[in-house]
Amino acid sequence: MTSVSETEFRSEVESAIAAFAARRVADDADGLRDDRVSVVAERSEGEAEELDALRRYRAHLAERGLAWVDGPAAYGGRALPAAYAEIVRELEAGFVLPDDGYLRFSVSTLSPTLLEHGTPAQQAEFLPHLRTAELIACQLYSEPGAGSDLAGLSTRAVRDGDGWRITGQKVWSSGAHFSDLGLCIARTDPEAPKHAGLTTFLLDMRSEGIEVRPIRQLTGGASFDEVFLTDVYVPDSRRIGDVNAGWKVVVTSLLNERSAIGREVGVDDALVERLVDLARTSQDPVDDRTRDAVADVVVRAWATRLTTERLLGDGAPGPELSLAKLLTTDLLTQMSDVASDILQAGHVAETGEWGTYAWSELTLGLPGLRIGGGTDEILKNTIGERVLNLPKDAR
């Protein structure tokens, strides 16, 4: 039984957020407000200040029992239904708050993965601090030589007394340069089939032997990193799941990551409205083709939102969530194309007009979004083989 009604909870949350932040006002073209339309946190300047503000906000929520409203009480949660967490997200959208993209992996991917595969000691040690942003985590999966074939990785973990020594290279690790923890997959049995000889570990990113190098992106930001691991020691108590059973942990984390992309990066009503306003206020009147394209974006946004909500449901995320991620990235790509048609040269050259050139950041950041959480091609294979039960592609 829930001890607080949704109406009471909504009032409680709104009061708590209002005590920390100002309410959001409608964007306009006065040139004073941030006109960014990117869906990925890629700021290099001011990152430390943004992280500090985010930690203060999460601590503010934790003091009021709102840092993890649908999480287990034993780990700092409120043990309320998932619908209450949606209320928090809905109300947060109405306030000017620090960018929570820095916490996306910690909260939406690592936390549920630890709940399923972590030991009670690991859950007690990490879960409360991940939700308050005292600890921030990143993912150490992708490798330069493996491409989309994650199980083809070459990073090795070798037994060393009560722990392991890990050596290898990871790439495209979002936020590794500011993270405290890294969920790493490594090969522990080179003789086993490639999916069967892997083990996952939770690394201390300050450990000796870890070097993080930011990768400059097309957007100008550097939110992705390459990580070099040289004889990094990790105690066995930081192993997540059984030895050589790391692929199960990987699958759980990727399903939760795709769920997060569908839910949190997904359809942004304000971004859709910005595109409609861009067409409405364009200096050059839009033609019928562009007008139809804008209308199609609005319809697709509704369809994507409703489909994602249906796929998420109340149960554990399944392979069907690959569709949610595909729908989201396809929608954002279509929005980018329509904005480019409307702006024309203004899409690639700054004219000084508010809310125009900013669309270029979305366009330049999209290739990374289409790769993160599984490439389009991998997701389509997943849908075909694991959802539609079609014959497997030739391996």
Q: Is 206 part of a structural domain of the chain? A: yes
Q: What pLDDT is stored for residue 145 in this prediction?
A: 87
Annotate 260-319 with three-state secondary structure.
HHHHHHCCCHHHHHHHHHHHHCCCCCCCHHHHHHHHHHHHHHHHHHHHHHHHHCCCCCCC
Q: What's the confidence (pLDDT) of residue 221?
A: 78
136, 167, 189 — which closes off a domain?
136
Q: Could you tell me if 131 and 214 lie in one domain?
A: no
Q: Residue 272 gets which letter from DSSP?
A: H
Within a domain: residue 394?
A: no
Contact (CB, 8 A) for 342 and 282: yes
Q: What is the pLDDT of residues 290-318, one digit of tens each?
A: 999 999 999 999 998 888 888 776 566 67
Asked whether residue 307 is assigned to any structural domain, the reply reads: yes
Return the C-alpha torsion angle 255, 260, 263, 266, nearest 10: -100
Residue 120 shares a structural domain with residue 218: no
Return the structure tokens found at 341: 């048609």
Residue 49 phi/psi, 5° resolution? -65, -40
SS3 assignment, position 42: coil
For the annotated catalytic residues, the residue numbers are 257
328 in the same domain as 221: no
Backbone angles phi, psi at 159, to 5 degrees: -60, 140
Q: Are residues 225 and 283 in the same domain?
A: no
Do 291 and 358 reside in the same domain of the chain?
A: yes
Assign residue 50 the CATH number of its domain: 1.10.540.10
* CATH number of the domain within which 184 lies: 2.40.110.10
Is position 27 within any domain?
Answer: no
Q: Give a yes or no: residue 209 inside a domain.
A: yes
Domain co-membership, 277 together with 195: no
Choosing from 80, 103, 136, the residue where a domain stops is 136
**Per-residue pLDDT for 103 more than 80?**
yes
Whether 393 is in a domain gets the answer no
Q: For the residues 313-341, what does the mean pLDDT come to?
A: 84
Query: Of 83, 102, 136, which closes a domain?
Result: 136
Q: Name residues whose C-beta falls within 8 Å of residue 272's C-beta, 6 or more positions apart in sequence.
A: 297, 298, 301, 335
Within 13 Å, how many C-alpha atoms sit on residue 77's CB side? 23
Q: Which residue has the higher pLDDT, 203 or 223?
A: 203
Q: Do 287 and 235 contact (CB within 8 A), yes or no?
A: no
- Domain containing residue 275: CATH number: 1.20.140.10
- Cα–Cα distance for residue pair 122/249, rounded to 1 Å: 14
**322 phi and psi, to 5 degrees?**
-60, -35
Q: Is 217 helix (H, G, I), strand (E, B) or coil?
A: coil
In this structure, are 193 and 272 located in the same domain? no
Separation CA 341–CA 289 (nearest Å): 10
Asked whether residue 286 carries a pLDDT value surpassing 70, the answer given is yes
Would you say 91 and 79 are in contact if contact means Cβ atoms under 8 Å apart? no
pLDDT at 29 over 50: no
Cα separation, 132 vs 317, in Å, equals: 24
Confidence tier at 54 by pLDDT (50, 70, 90): very high
The answer on 272 and 238 residing in a single domain is: no
Residue 236 parent element (H or E):
none
Same domain, 120 and 169: no
C-beta separation of 175 from 139 below 8 A? no
- Alpha-carbon span 201 to 254, nearest angstrom: 15
Helix (H, G, I), strand (E, B) or coil at 201: strand
pLDDT per residue as tens digits for the range 371-392: 877 788 888 988 898 889 999 8
pLDDT confidence bin for 111, thresholds 50/70/90 = very high
Domain that holds residue 147: 138-246
- Point out which residues pair with 235 in neighbouring strands: 163
274 and 223 share one domain: no
Helix-then-strand count for the chain, H and E: 12, 8
Mean pLDDT of the region 218-244: 93
Per the structure, how many domains does the chain have? 3
221, two tokens: 């930001």
Q: What is the mean pLDDT of the chain?
A: 88
- Compute and round to an integer the Cα radius of gyration of the chain: 22
303-317 in b/e burial notation, b at 16+ Cβ within 10 A?
ebbebbeebbeeeeb
Cβ atoms within 10 Å, residue 146? 17
Longest dimension (CA), the chain: 71
Mean per-residue pLDDT, 211-228: 88
